[in-house]
Amino acid sequence: MNQRTLLRGLYAITNSPQAADRDLPNQVSQALEGGTRVIQYRDKGKGRQRRVAEASQLLQLTKQYHALLIINDDIELAAETGADGVHLGRHDADITHARQRLGTEAIIGISCYNRLALAKQAEQAGADYVAFGRFFPSLTKPQAVQANPQLLRQARQTLTLPLVAIGGITPDNGGPLISAGADMLAVIHAVFGQPDIRQACERFRPIFATGG
């Protein structure tokens, strides 16, 4: 199966503070049971050995559910664990280096904030998806730049890559972003900050089923 066909639906990003007193693999398992298609492992506070161990555990879970594991920022961690790919931001390594290190089958995602020009560059450089946002106030990155749905419409007209929307997204506000062109909704607090993670993920299903 072409892994890139999985780049649709709910994209859940782990968050260390919200997992501090809870079992991260159990959290991710609940998210996958709820229908999450992509898990991004995002943890910059733990030691290397712990990160390798956790990422390896999460990869086994995503394989069981025929989902994807993307590593935030860390190309070497993605390579060491055999993760499906890596997500890179403005200050991370470039796509060329990631592709050389991870191979042609790896999925490489790029943060493009509110800049369509960055997304066009990413597509030309060989990215597999691009992410825009924040679209709504974000608990994780309250100072992140603001994007609007019109950006998604413009991107949908000019890019062939899957589009990710991120930033303060909930089941109540995510529908218009799908209608505007987003293929995936990236969520942190609305999944991992909820008492029932599986149910939180299931609440997103109608949005994707109806196209917004």
Concerning whether 111 is annotated as a catalytic residue, the answer is yes
Q: What is the pLDDT of residue 15?
A: 83
Q: What is the pLDDT of residue 1?
A: 57
Concerning whether 44 is annotated as a catalytic residue, the answer is no
Segment 56-67 shows an average pLDDT of: 97
Does the structure show a pLDDT above 80 at 62? Answer: yes
- The residues, any chain, with a CB within 8 Å of residue 44's CB and separated by 6 or more, are 16, 72, 73
User: Distance between CA 201 and CA 131 in Å, rounded?
Assistant: 20
Does the structure show a pLDDT above 80 at 18? Answer: no
Does the structure show a pLDDT above 70 at 21? Answer: no
Q: How confident is the model at residue 16 (pLDDT cuts 50, 70, 90)?
A: low
Does the structure show a pLDDT above 70 at 44? Answer: yes
Does the structure show a pLDDT above 80 at 212? Answer: no
Concerning whether 48 is annotated as a catalytic residue, the answer is no
The full set of domains in the chain, from first to last, is: 3-210 (3.20.20.70)
Question: Exactly one of 4, 141, 156, 205 is catalytic; which is it?
Answer: 141
Q: What is the pLDDT of residue 29?
A: 97
Q: Which residues of 45-75 are buried (b: 16+ CB within 10 A; e: fewer)?
A: eeeeeebeebbebbbebbeebebbbbbbbbb
Question: Exactly one of 4, 8, 42, 156 is catalytic; which is it?
Answer: 42
Q: What is the pLDDT of residue 3?
A: 83
Both tokens of 102, joined, read 């991870």
Q: What is the pLDDT of residue 22?
A: 61
Of 123, 207, 210, which is closest to residue 173 (Cα–Cα)? Answer: 207
CB 13 within 8 A of CB 189: no
Mean pLDDT of the chain: 92
Question: Exactly one of 29, 37, 99, 111 is catalytic; which is it?
Answer: 111
Helices (H), 87-134: 95-102, 116-125
Q: Report pLDDT digits (tens) over 151-210.
A: 999 999 999 999 999 999 999 999 999 999 999 999 999 999 999 999 999 999 999 987
Apex 167 CA angle, 161 and 172, nearest 5: 100
User: Distance between CA 101 and CA 76 in Å, rounded?
Assistant: 8
